[in-house]
Amino acid sequence: MIGQRLHRARKAAGLSLRDLGAKVGLTHAAIKKYEDEQSAPTSTTLLKLARSLNVRTEYFFRPETIVLDRIEYRKRSSLPKKRLEAIEHEVIDQIERRIELENLFPKPPVVPFAPVRELLAEITDLAQIERAVEVVRKAWDLGYDPIPDLIDVLETHGIRVFMIDANSDPKFDGLAATVNHMPIIVVGSNWPGDRQRFTLAHELGHLMLAGRLGANIDEEIACNRFAGAFLIPRKSVEQELGAHRSYIEPKELALLKEEFGLSMAGILYRARDLGIVSPAWRDEQAKLFRIRGWHLTEPGKRYPTEKAHIFEQMVFHALAEDYIGESKAAELMKISLTSFQTIRALEGGDVAAHQ
């Protein structure tokens, strides 16, 4: 058991056998023997390994139960294999702790995901995605208003959302996958909120449109259309911008971004897709965005990042009901007992500040 866990933690940390060996004062051959279960580390060595890999020693004794299926990366082809492995191992660790926590509750704390049955069986035109989004938003009682907390909406409907630190990976936006038939979405924690929200909505598109797209429809383009429409539906766009425009002020785009959490560029795409502006005018604006550097950083305040607070909330729920103690709560949150006690006493910030 320890060997598999050690291998996973090393991959998640992006370390080679030699790198890890150097950190703990062992040869790469010794680390390889541990991973191959040919020898077992002493308790002192295990503690050094845990510290070097930023895990608790309990991690090495957790059973292997998780397999990611049907992984869909938004930008998989541009990520090196080593980083893909590290991302997947990091995601699996988060999922294992989440499932372990959920299993402590007498009744499941998360409702199972259920596809929206009213969706069209086959979508043969991108314009039909507008209707598909309206069906989903109606089924989820979202109306046409902005969605202030997208992660909460997804979690409420049985889609588990995880965040990973992608500061070192500007090419990673997110991924969708299934675990034990449960859908999950992973997004980079460091991106601006509007980029996170588009990624989350894009991955939701993969879940909702799976098996429904005609052979002539590109799935990535379809999911981009779904994402934009989910964040700011057709009726909202038409109400805010009107049926036809020859020009849209950048400040209008900025205000809509602030209200709906979709980037200025994304709103321009929405206006083009709905025939409010011409494709030529949208392309012209895209060129201006590049000249001004707005394709990298849009003007104005950075849209607030999404908050994945469900896991932490469940930890304190379990603690309040005596399903777990403080030590187990700290282990699940991957922080020290002292840090956990500080958070519990409302004397510190969020979990990330203590990791």
* Of residues 45, 263, 46, 296, the one with CA closest to residue 170: 296
Structure confidence at residue 90 (pLDDT)? 81
Indicate whether this model's pTM tops 0.85. no
What CA dihedral angle connects 217, 220, 224 and 226, to 10 degrees? 50
Exposed/middle/buried for residue 238 (C-beta within 10 Å: 0-12, 13-18, 19+): middle
Q: Which residues pair with 178 in a beta bridge?
A: 69, 183
Taking the C-alpha atoms of residue 165 and residue 117, their distance in angstroms, rounded to an integer, is 35
Q: Is 203 in contact with 226 (CB distance < 8 Å)?
A: no
List, for residues 117-161, the tens digit of each pLDDT value.
899 999 999 999 999 999 999 999 999 999 999 999 999 999 999
Helix (H) or strand (E) holding 191: none
Q: What average pLDDT is seen over the chain?
A: 89
Beta strands in 156-304 (DSSP E): 160-164, 174-179, 182-188
Q: How many helices (H) and strands (E) are present in the chain, helices listed first?
A: 16, 4
Q: Is 252 in contact with 276 (CB distance < 8 Å)?
A: no
Taking the C-alpha atoms of residue 98 and residue 8, their distance in angstroms, rounded to an integer, is 17
> What's the token pair of residue 289?
């965005």
Coil vs helix vs strand at 62 = coil
Q: Is 3 in contact with 41 (CB distance < 8 Å)?
A: no
Structure confidence at residue 223 (pLDDT)? 94
Taking the C-alpha atoms of residue 197 and residue 149, their distance in angstroms, rounded to an integer, is 9
Residue 30 corresponds to which amino acid? A
Q: Residue 342: CB partners within 8 Å, gap ≥ 6?
A: 348, 354
Q: Residue 200: CB partners within 8 Å, gap ≥ 6?
A: 150, 151, 154, 161, 174, 185, 187, 306
Structure confidence at residue 175 (pLDDT)? 84
Asked if domains 1-64 and 67-315 share a fold, the reply is no
Name the residue ranges covered by the structural domains of the chain: 1-64, 67-315, 325-354
Structure confidence at residue 344 (pLDDT)? 94
Q: Residue 308: CB partners within 8 Å, gap ≥ 6?
A: 151, 161, 162, 163, 189
Beta strands in the chain (DSSP E): 69-73, 160-164, 174-179, 182-188
User: What topology does CATH give the domain 67-315?
Assistant: Arc Repressor Mutant, subunit A (1.10.10)
> What's the token pair of residue 299?
């003007």
- CATH number at 1-64: 1.10.260.40
Residue 339 CA: distances (Å) to CA of 311, 344, 351, 352, 354: 17, 9, 9, 11, 6
Residues of the chain short of pLDDT 70, as ranges, are 1, 63-68, 73-78, 166-170, 348-355
> What's the token pair of residue 6?
């050690």
